[in-house]
Amino acid sequence: MSAQDGTLIIGEGTILRAKVSNCRQLEVSGYVDGEVETESLVVHRGGRCYGTIHAGTADVAGTVQGRIGVRQLIHIRPTGEVSGSVRYGKMAMEAGGSLSAEVRNVPPSLAGDFELVVLRGDRVQIRSEDLHAVDPDDAAGALVFTVADPRNGYVARGDAIDAPITRFTQADLESGRIYFRHDGSAAADAGFDVTVADHTGATSGTPQAVHVTVRD
- Band (pLDDT 50/70/90 cuts) for residue 212 is very high
Are 113 and 82 in a shared domain? no
Contact in structure between 104 and 19 (CB atoms under 8 Å): no
Are 13 and 95 in a shared domain? yes
How much is the pTM?
A: 0.84
pLDDT at 135: 94
The residue from 66, 100, 134 where one domain ends is 100
DSSP-based three-state secondary structure for 170 = helix
pLDDT at 103: 84
Distance CA 97, CA 86 (A): 15
pLDDT at 189: 96
Question: pLDDT tens digits, residue range 14-43?
Answer: 999 999 998 999 999 999 999 999 999 999
Contact in structure between 197 and 203 (CB atoms under 8 Å): yes
Question: pLDDT tens digits, residue range 76-134?
Answer: 999 999 999 999 999 999 999 999 998 889 999 999 999 999 999 999 999 999 999 99
Distance CA 151, CA 200 (A): 29
Are 179 and 87 in a shared domain? no
Are 154 and 91 in a shared domain? no
Region of 121 please: left (phi>0), alpha (psi -120 to 50) or beta: left
Are 158 and 194 in a shared domain? yes
Are 41 and 129 in a shared domain? no
Sheet-wide strand order for 123-125? 123-125, 178-182, 153-157, 160-164
Are 125 and 143 in a shared domain? yes
> How many structural domains is the chain composed of?
2
The residue from 77, 100, 123 where one domain ends is 100
* Ordered alpha helix ranges (H), 102-213: 170-174
Domain that holds residue 143: 109-215
Q: Tell me the mean pLDDT in the region 131-159.
A: 96
Are 20 and 82 in a shared domain? yes
Query: For position 192, which CATH number holds?
Result: 2.60.40.10
Are 138 and 206 in a shared domain? yes
Are 123 and 167 in a shared domain? yes
Are 120 and 90 in a shared domain? no
Backbone angles phi, psi at 140, to 5 degrees: -60, -35
The residue from 100, 124, 148 where one domain ends is 100
Are 24 and 95 in a shared domain? yes
pLDDT at 5: 64
